[in-house]
Every structure is written in C-alpha cells, then in structure tokens.
Amino acid sequence: MTKEKRELARRQDKAPIATAWDYAPAPEARDIVKVQERYGLFIGGKFVEPESGERYTTIDPAHEEPLSEIAQAGKADVDRAVRAARDAFANGWSGLRPSERAKYLFRIARLLQERSREFAVLESLNGGKPIRESRDVDVPLAAAHFFYYAGWADKLEYAFPNRTPRPIGVAGQIIPWNFPLLMLAWKIAPALAAGNTVVLKPAETTPLSALLFCDVLRQAELPPGVVNIITGDGRTGAELVSHPDVDKIAFTGSTEVGKAIQRTLAGTGKRLTLELGGKAANIVFDDAPLDQAVEGIINGIYFNQGHVCCAGSRLLVQESIYETVVAKLKRRMATLRVGDPLDKNTDVGAINSKQQLEKISALVQSGVDEGAEIYQPPCKLPERGYWFVPTVFTNVAQSYRIAQEEIFGPVLSVLTFRTPDEAIEKANNTPYGLSAGVWTEKGSRILAMAQKLRAGVVWANTYNRFDPASPFGGYKESGFGREGGRHGLEPYVVLDDA
C-alpha cells in the first residue's frame, strides 16, 4: 500500500470530531410508516404475485439491514403490466374528460401531502438520504409536480396552440435510486395529464416509496391499470424497453444504460426521452458573494450525498480568490454532520448501496493516484452501513478521471480559471451538458455565461433549485427531452394539426 493509500484509508477510518458543540440526536420516528414483509407487483390496480416466482431483499443502507422482500418482475410480468396499461388506455382513461383526469391528479397531490411524513421516512430509510432533504425537498416537490400537471390536464390545447394534442398510449418509465419518489412524480404526472397510461419500474435498491405510492393510487381511486408499478433489476427494465406494445420510453439513469436503450429502440418508431448523467461546473467569479457561494458549493455537491445528476461536481474558481474560497470551503465542510439519515440534524446520509460506495472509493483512489490533493474533514462515521466522508480535491488537472467522470458521490474537484472565456472552455470540456452554476454580482456576466454554457440548466447565484414549472434536461451525453414545465408535456402527446 502506498503512503497516499494508507492516508486515504486512515481518513476514511474517521478520527473523532473535535468540536465543542455536540448535537443531541433528533431522530424522526421510524414507526410512522409500515413496511410490509413482502410486496407483489402492482398491476391492474392490485398487488399480484410475480409469475417469475423470483424475489430479492431491499435493505436500509444506513444499517445494512433487510427491510422487505421485493418481487422481481420477469418477461411474463412485464407483459401482464403492459396489457393492463393498454387495456386501461383503450377502455376509459384516454377518452376521459380532461377535467376528470385532472381531479385524479389533484387527489394524488393532496394525498402525497397528507401522507408526507410517511413518504419522507420511507425515502430516507430505503435510500439513505437525510430526512431533512426527503421531508423538505423530495416529498413537497413530488406533490408540487402532481399539482402542476393536474392544472395542465384540461388546458392542453393552450400548451400547444393551433395543434390538437392526443395521448400517445402506454408509457414505459424507468427511474433511478437517487430521487425515487420525485422521479416517479416527474414521470407519472405529465404522462397521466396528457391521457397516457403507465408502466413504471423503480430502481432495484429503492422500490419502497413507489410501492407505498400504489396505496395512494388506491386511495385516489385511480382506475385500475392506469398506473402499474413493476419492481425488479435492470433485466426488468430491459424487458419493458423491448416490449412491442409500449409506445414511449422515459428513462433517467446512467449514460451507459441510456445508450443501450437508444440502441434497442433505434428503428422501432417508439418515442424516447433520456435524462442521463452530468459533470456540472459550478463557476465562482472574484466578485461573487463568497459566503453565499460557499453555501451553494456545499449544497451543489453534498446534497443527497452527491447522488445527483446535476451535482456541481467541478468547482471552477477564479484564480485570484482561489485560496480564500478553498479555506472557507474546508471550514464549512468540517461542520457537515454525516450519519443517521433519520436524524433531523444530519446533513450527509448513507451512500445508497455497496456497489455505489465501491465506485466512489475507486474514483477517489484514482484522484489520489493521479496526483490531486485530497481533503476530508475529521468525521466520525457509524460502524455499520455505507458511508463516505465529504471530500474535496485540489490540484486537479482537467484530464484526471475525477474531473471527467460522474462520481455520483460527495466528492468535489476544484479547478481554477483566469478569464470568463477560460471558464467557459473548461466548463464545456465534458461529454455531458446537464447543468451549471455561475456566481457573480454582475447580471450581464450571468447572461453572457448562460448563453455560452452548453448545459440544459444554468443556476445563477444559487444551485440545485427545482420548480415543476421549469423544464429540466440535458445536452450531449446528458440526454435529450425535457421534464417539467410545458416542455415536459411534449414527449407525452402526439400533435395533430388543428
């Protein structure tokens, strides 16, 4: 083991925090939500046993403890779900008065709000994210998406003036593990508003909030088959993609799987939207409000343990303020509390899976090996579970893997620039193009930068802000198609001339 590797291993071994101010634990009640011992597949409005006969265990990544037995949908199950969706599409949902469709969406939104505490706890339990985030971001935004698209359901002709929008048919939707409930809402709400029916596959590691959502659908009395939820791993996703009776695929996940899906669908005429990875630049100019910028940098990379496709994982700092920004950043990092996701004091929760922890560790090791300088604040981690100390790399060259690849963990790479043009060139030097951040007090500079940054979303003097009315999506290898806003309806309608 090299000296650097030993140092890395030691730091991850966490020295005790030297702090005068201890926080008393403030745990959210875990028993607010009931997790069943096992779940079936939600098809045609009810839970059914998987014909595959296969199951797997979903766990709590903070304690490595089993939570429930989940069905692994096979080919026959996928077919059954697609048939249920087709049946619901043909026999009612697509012909329903749009204002009636809206009522169901409003009901779902209200039920999500009423049951928000249950969803927040479950999301943190199964995914590892801090309860503060699931309570204050994931669940409210998921409800907001249903409210927002409920409003569009009977106004589609205004969304597409002089055209006659019709639903497409059955949408197959595949979502990742970083925002399970929110991604479900991003996918299902516009699809239903436009009159389509849905078969949705949550990620293998985080199926529980989608399964609880089935209960909301039953409470809302959504007609059977309009939304079907099938659990399983990537094989289930692949079956859904290649099913001949699915009209549209919406996928959020890795660029690698996105490309495979695109290959499968080439020439089939099926619609496709892809929301893939990112390697966003968060650019700080020397006239930026630095303390505010440091908060934005922290939020940009350590929110949700960095499991965020639009995470600000490359920090570009103007050279003249480099030392100051890095010093402030390290000081702020030392105050982050890593630990129990259900503790309301926690800032950084558990890494979602062992596999993801291994990926992050390998990429961080590559940063050390390639010559970057690593900093990790002193941090005491729980003994069990999957954890990674918030990390920042300085002395990073653009060619290093940590500056090129999506780490999808709490790891920031800091680079410098001298002029706005250099910042643009470095920011755009990536195969991705999902998001970017600009910190400066000059409005004109914000506009000039935003025009030149090849990123679907550019935040100015803030980061990771979402609103259902605002479209989100990427350029280049970050995918195509937009979710959110009026743009988010477009992938779910066929537009005839009026």
For residue 54, state whether it binds ligand NDP (rule: CB under 6 A): no
Give Cα separations from 307 to 63, 280, 378, 410, 438 (angstroms). 19, 13, 22, 8, 21
Kindly state the smallest distance separating residue 356's Cβ from ligand NDP, in Å: 6
Is 157 among the residues known to form the active site? no
Question: Read out DSSP for 94-142?
Answer: GGS-HHHHHHHHHHHHHHHHHTHHHHHHHHHHHH---HHHIIIIIHHHH
- Which of 96/260 has CB closer to ligand NDP? 260
Q: Taking a C-beta distance cutoff of 8 angstroms, is the pair 107, 75 a contact? A: no
Among positions 257, 265, 351, 438, the unique one binding ligand NDP when judged by CB under 6 A: 257
- Which of 252/464 has CB closer to ligand NDP? 252
For residue 208, state whether it binds ligand NDP (rule: CB under 6 A): no
Residue 83 contacts by C-beta under 8 Å, 6 or more apart in sequence? 245
For residue 241, state whether it binds ligand NDP (rule: CB under 6 A): yes
- Name the β-bridge partners of 412: 392
- Which of 59/150 has CB closer to ligand NDP? 59
d(CA 392, CA 397): 14
Q: Name the burial class of residue 478, with classes exposed (0-12), middle (13-18) and buried (19+) by CB atoms within 10 angstroms of its CB.
A: buried
Kindly state the smallest distance separating residue 387's Cβ from ligand NDP, in Å: 16
Kindly state the smallest distance separating residue 455's Cβ from ligand NDP, in Å: 14
Residue 238 contacts by C-beta under 8 Å, 6 or more apart in sequence? 264
Planar angle of CA 245, 145, 489, nearest 5 degrees: 45
For residue 102, state whether it binds ligand NDP (rule: CB under 6 A): no
Considering only 55-63, 70-78, 198-206, 297-305, which stretch makes contact with ligand NDP by CB under 6 A?
Answer: 198-206
Kindly state the smallest distance separating residue 308's Cβ from ligand NDP, in Å: 8
Among positions 133, 204, 347, 483, the unique one binding ligand NDP when judged by CB under 6 A: 204
Q: Taking a C-beta distance cutoff of 8 angstroms, is the pair 449, 419 a contact? A: no
For ligand NDP, what does the binding mask look like between residues 329 and 358, x meaning CB under 6 A?
---------------------------x--
d(CA 293, CA 79): 50
For residue 237, state whether it binds ligand NDP (rule: CB under 6 A): yes
For the chain, the helix, strand and coil percentages under 3-state DSSP, each to the nearest 5: 45, 20, 40
For residue 420, state whether it binds ligand NDP (rule: CB under 6 A): no
Cβ-based neighbour number of residue 3 at 10 Å: 7
Among positions 167, 225, 277, 300, the unique one binding ligand NDP when judged by CB under 6 A: 277
Considering only 33-41, 174-182, 313-321, 490-498, which stretch makes contact with ligand NDP by CB under 6 A?
Answer: 174-182
- Which of 17/260 has CB closer to ligand NDP? 260
Kindly state the smallest distance separating residue 110's Cβ from ligand NDP, in Å: 28
Q: Taking a C-beta distance cutoff of 8 angstroms, is the pair 441, 460 a contact? A: no
Instruction: Give the amino acid at 136.
Output: D
d(CA 464, CA 297): 10
For ligand NDP, what does the binding mask look like between residues 296 and 335, x meaning CB under 6 A?
-------------x--------------------------
Give the residue nearest to ligand NDP (CB).
237
For residue 286, state whether it binds ligand NDP (rule: CB under 6 A): no
d(CA 111, CA 463): 29
Kindly state the smallest distance separating residue 278's Cβ from ligand NDP, in Å: 6
Kindly state the smallest distance separating residue 331's Cβ from ligand NDP, in Å: 29
Strands 248-252, 271-275: pairing is parallel
Residue 327 contacts by C-beta under 8 Å, 6 or more apart in sequence? none
Kindly state the smallest distance separating residue 451's Cβ from ligand NDP, in Å: 25
Considering only 173-181, 448-456, 462-470, 483-491, which stretch makes contact with ligand NDP by CB under 6 A?
Answer: 173-181
Q: Taking every pair of C-alpha atoms in the chain, what is the biggest distance, in angstroms? A: 70
- Single out the residue of 227, 205, 232 nearest to residue 215, CA to CA: 227
For residue 253, state whether it binds ligand NDP (rule: CB under 6 A): yes
- 6 to 45, contacts with ligand NDP by CB under 6 A? none
Among 214, 309, 310, 379, the active-site one is: 309
Among 275, 406, 477, 490, the active-site one is: 275
For residue 203, state whether it binds ligand NDP (rule: CB under 6 A): yes
Task: Return the SS3 of 397.
Answer: coil
Is 358 among the residues known to form the active site? no
For ligand NDP, what does the binding mask look like between residues 217 and 236, x meaning CB under 6 A?
----------------xx--
CA 72 to chain centre: 22
Residues that bind ligand NDP (CB under 6 A): 174-178, 201, 203-204, 233-234, 237-238, 241, 252-254, 257, 260-261, 276-277, 309, 356, 359, 406, 408
Active site residues: 275, 309
